[in-house]
Amino acid sequence: MGCSQCVGLEQESQKWVEEDLKAYRRGKQSSTTTMLIQELLRRGVRGLSLLDIGGGIGEIPLELLAKGAEKAVSVEISTVYLDAARQESARKGLNDRITFIHGDFVDAADQVPVADIVTLNKVVCCYPDFEALVTKSAARARKYYALVFPKDWWVIRQVLKLVNWFSKAQKSLYVAYVHPVQEVDRLIQAGGFKRAYQASTLGWHVWVYERP
Strand locations in the chain (E) = 49-53, 71-76, 98-102, 115-121, 141-150, 194-200, 204-210
Q: What's domain 3-210's architecture? A: 3-Layer(aba) Sandwich (3.40)
Contact of 17 with 189, CB cutoff 8 Å: no
pLDDT score of 16: 78
pLDDT tens digits, the chain, 212 residues: what are they? Answer: 545 565 556 666 777 788 888 898 998 889 999 999 999 999 999 999 999 999 899 999 999 999 999 999 999 999 999 999 999 999 999 999 999 999 999 999 999 999 999 999 999 998 999 999 999 999 999 999 999 999 999 998 898 889 888 777 877 777 889 999 999 999 999 999 999 999 999 999 999 999 99
Every domain of the chain and the residues it spans: 3-210
pLDDT at 7: 56
Give the pLDDT of residue 19. 87
CA distances for 15 relative to 26, 47, 170, angstroms:
18, 35, 12
What does the pLDDT read at residue 11? 65
Report how far residue 84's alpha carbon sits from residue 54's, in angstroms, rounded to the nearest whole number.
13
The pTM of the full predicted model, rounded to 2 decimals, is 0.93
